[in-house]
Amino acid sequence: MSPNQRRKVLFLCTGNSCRSQMAEGLLRYLSAGRFDACSAGLAPQDRIHPLAIQVMAEIGIDISGQKPKSVKTYLGKATISFIITVCTRAEEDTCPRIWPGIADKNRLYWPFDDPVAAEGTDEEKQQVFRLVRDSLREKITDWLNGKE
What order do you get walking across the sheet with 35-41 strand by strand? 35-41, 7-13, 82-87, 107-112
Of residues 27, 87, 136, 140, which has the active-site annotation? Answer: 87
Of residues 9, 13, 55, 56, which has the active-site annotation? Answer: 13
Q: Please confirm, yes or no, whether 18 is among the known catalytic residues.
A: no
- CB contact at 8 A, 120 and 100: no
Q: How far apart are CA 118 and CA 24, in angstroms?
A: 21
Q: Say which amino acid occupies 80.
A: I
Q: How far apart are CA 60 and CA 8, in angstroms?
A: 23
- DSSP calls for 77-96: TS--SEEEEEEGGGGGTSS-
Of residues 37, 55, 71, 95, which has the active-site annotation? Answer: 95
**Exposure b/e, 40-57, CB count within 10 A at least 16 = b:** bbbebeeebbebbbebbe
Catalytically annotated residues: 13, 87, 95
